[in-house]
Structures are given as structure tokens and as C-alpha cells.
Amino acid sequence: MKLKAVFKKYSLKLGFTLFLILLEAALAILFPLFIGYAIDSAINGSHYGAIQLGLLGVAALLVGVGRRVFDSRFYAKIYQSIGTSAISKMEDNVSSKKSARLGMLREFIEFLENALPELISNIIGLIGVIAIIATLNLNVFYGSLIVTIIIFLIYWLTSSKTIKLNKLSNDEFEKQVDVISKNDEQELNLHLKEMMKWNIKLSDLEAINFSISWMVMIAFLVASIIISVSDGIVKYGALFSLIMYVFQYMENVINLPLFYQNWLRLKEIKERLEEV
């Protein structure tokens, strides 16, 4: 079964949820800028900036809640459709494998419902934040580009190992129901040990990548403050907005590689689901 055919069937609803995701991401980008406006407005004795910030918050709330209510129902229908088709057409009548793949499908759908909006929001946020940083300080902007390239290189260099570990983990997971049904304590213990072994290896790899990336990000944060002051940004609201955008940039950059690793796992799951 090709997942592409299922998603084509629901293309209009997918397009609508994508529109809501993009709108929510666009509103999120504006928060640091509006906070800066509110601070400068309050310093000058005006509440206009605070009112604008409040209206932005209400708009973001309405769009965010509306998207989540729609998505929960839409992706439940997708899960039902794909699950029925994929599992019923499997020629292999091994219950353990069917059960495991149904669990993998649930993981795939949860990624679409929960992680995909965050991924799109992060991508848009990263592009938008970098663009705004460019208008505030070119030197910090150049630094953000360099840091982005460095971090993605760190994760790209370990992608083949991530794929291999995910495959081994999923291979073991497909044996789970059969192992449990045998009611053999020793075999169950060995199975769980194998499962945890691959999880630990994946976790260790992620810890190493995250640690290196975080050190790069902290160095960039410190450098951005020094650069901003040395370049003559003395207005408190403007300086605060720039540092807020650097924080937002850090959050977006540090999260994107995690989505990339998740995508590598889901790619392997997708291949298993499409075997039939």
C-alpha cells in the first residue's frame, strides 16, 4: 500500500491543516518584535504597543486551538484508513509483525499530527527569524548562517548510523508479541534487553550530537550580545528584540535536527508499511 495514495485522497483537508500551521507559525514569529514595540511604547507612556501584543496573543490562541481540534479528528480518520488497508493486506499472517506495524503506523500518524506542525513552524520560524536578524544586525545574521551550517553538518554526518540503529530497533520490535505469547521469562528478558540496547545507542548518539550543537549555540549567543553592543545598539527595546530573536533562532536550529532524526526513523517505518 502506498501512503501517497491515501494522502492524495485527503489532499484538501491536508491543504487546510497546512494553511493553519503556516498561519500559526507566522503569528509566532511576530511575538519578539511586538514585545519590543510594547516595551518602547510603555517607556514613552503609551499602552498602544501592549494592546497590539495582546491582540496578537488572542489571534495566535484562536488559530492554534482551531488547528488542534481539526487535526485530532482528521488524523484519526487517516489512521483508521491506512491501518485497515495495510494490516488486512499483509500476506504474512504473523500477529507479532502485524501488531508491531500497527504501532509503527500510530507513531507515523502522531508525527504528522504533532511533530509535523512543529517542524513546519520551526522551518518558517528559522527563515523568518534569520531574515529579521538581518534587518537588526548584519554581523549577527552572518554568524547565524555559519552556525546553522555547522549544526546540520553534525547531524548529517551521523545519519547513516541513525538509520542503521533504527532498523535494528524496529526488527526487534516486530518480534515482541510472539515473545510475550511464549511466556518464557528468559526469552522475554533477552528481547527487552535487545530493545533497550538499541534505544540506549540511539540516545547516546543524540546526546553527543546535542552537546556539540549546544556548545556552538551558546558561543553564538554570547558573541551576538557582544557584537550587538559593540555595533552601537543602545536602545533597550531594539537590543532586547534582537536577543529575543537570537533565542528564538537557537530554539529553531536546535530542534530541526531532532525532527531530521525522527524523519529518518519514519522513513524506515514507511518502507515497512509499504511492503504489501
The reply to whether the predicted model has a pTM over 0.75 is no
Residue 97: CB atoms within 10 A of its CB come to 19
pLDDT for 233 beyond 60 = no
Cα separation, 113 vs 105, whole angstroms: 12
CB 217 within 8 A of CB 254: yes
Minimum mean pLDDT range among 16-20, 93-97, 158-162, 246-250: 93-97
Q: Which tens digits make up the pLDDT trace of 155-193?
A: 888 888 888 888 888 777 777 767 777 777 787 788 778
Task: Please state, for a pLDDT cut of 90, what percent of the chain lies above it.
Answer: 5
Give the domain 3-273 fold: ABC transporter transmembrane region fold (1.20.1560)
Beta-carbon contacts of residue 130 (< 8 Å; ≥ 6 apart): 141, 144, 145, 148, 249
CB 252 within 8 A of CB 93: no
- Alpha-carbon Rg for the chain, nearest whole angstrom, is 23
Beta-carbon contacts of residue 223 (< 8 Å; ≥ 6 apart): 143
Q: What single-letter amino acid sits at 52? A: Q
CB 139 within 8 A of CB 231: yes
> What is the pLDDT confidence band of residue 96, given thresholds at 50, 70 and 90?
low
- Segment 231-242 shows an average pLDDT of 68
- Segment 84-107 shows an average pLDDT of 67
Q: Pick the residue with more confidence: 65 or 177?
A: 65
Structure letter (DSSP) for residue 45: T
Q: Which tens digits make up the pLDDT trace of 30-46?
A: 887 888 888 888 888 88
